[in-house]
Amino acid sequence: MTDPADSPAIALPDDDWQGVATAAAGDEALYLELDGWEGPLDLLLDLARRQKVDLRRISILDLVDQYLNYIDQAEALRLELAADYLVMAAWLAYLKSALLLPREEQEDPSPEELALRLQLRLQRLAAMRDAAGRLMGRDRLGRDVFGRGNPEGLRIDRKALWQCDWFALIQAYGQIKARTQPVVHLVRDRMVMTLDSALTRVAAMLGVTLDWMELKDFLPPHADPKLRKSALASSFVAALELARLGKAEMTQDETFGPLRLRGVRA
């Protein structure tokens, strides 16, 4: 791999954490804090830093040994270890044995790749930890530098600019008028044939003939179309009434077919 430029960001001072509190409470369910370590990767990074070599040149085998020793010690002290630490220990033990096995028996992914992956992760975590330390060490507003203590403030006075247009105005007036006008309901005088006159007319016509007649033949001829509707309705009701009284018979061959009726002689 190409040699990355030497950078202060990945140089690893022993302690750049002064002034930073230890991990917040409330995370206990997720990991056990061993002397303030936040998880196995954090512990590994700390062990790596103790080797005092550049993380890019660190011996992963040494690191694995140190981690496994640490876990052994913790178990010897009967410290309860979070599952994360044990999972990492198991994985590192596997990695160690794979690194020590002859090359031909390697599976995919190769142990070298796994070791490199771990190394890269440690580098990234170290870089961010270092960056965090440098960020926190900056001159901070409200701690090292201060804004104006008592600013007058800039004020923005909001003024409403009311909008309404001519059409909305006259439309509103029209609607008030339409709404508040006294409402008068008028029913137009229409020509109707009353039930009584229909009854008289149909009964009289039934007395004249014994043949079946269609209902429409009972309507007054040349009637105004508006009167015709009324006459049809009244004549139909009159026919029903006469049938009920036994004075007429009605027949209809099909639905909506012509309705015929004739008189019944007593």
Partner 1 sequence: MSDRPDDLLRAVEAAVFASEQPLSIEAISLHLGGADVRAALAELAEHYADRGVHLVERGKRWHFETAPDLAHLLRREREEVRRLSRAGTEVLAIVAYHEPVSRAEIESIRGVQTAKGTLDVLMEAGWVRIVGRRDVPGRPVIYATTPDFLTHFGLESRRDLPGIDELRAAGLLDPVEDALAAAMDGPSAETELTDAEEDTDSAD
Residues contacting residue 237 through CB under 8 Å, at least 6 positions apart: 195, 198
Q: Which is nearer to partner 1, 140 or 216 (CB)?
A: 140
Cα distance between residue 33 and residue 26, in whole Å: 11
Residue span 35-64 as binding mask against partner 1, x where in contact by CB under 8 A, dash where not:
-x-xxxxx----------------------
> Least CB distance from residue 93 to partner 1, whole Å?
18
- Site residues for partner 1, 192-251, by CB under 8 A, read none
Q: Does 190 bind partner 1 (CB under 8 A)?
A: no
Residue span 143-172 as binding mask against partner 1, x where in contact by CB under 8 A, dash where not:
xxxxxxxxxxxxxxxxxxxxxxxx-xxxxx
- Site residues for partner 1, 11-40, by CB under 8 A, read 17, 19-24, 26-27, 30-31, 36, 38-40
Q: Choose one: 68-76, 118-126, 211-219, 234-242; the region binding partner 1 (CB under 8 A).
A: 118-126
In 151-182, which positions are buried (b, 16+ CB within 10 angstroms) versus exposed (e)? eeeeeeeeeeeeeeeeeeeeeeeeeeeeeeee
Single out the residue of 67, 43, 47, 69 nearest to residue 58, CA to CA: 47
Long-range CB pairs of 168-173 (<8 Å, 24+ gap) are none
> Least CB distance from residue 56 to partner 1, whole Å?
9
Which of 54, 69, 138, 226: binder of partner 1 (CB under 8 A)?
138
Greatest alpha-carbon pair distance for the chain in Å reads 132
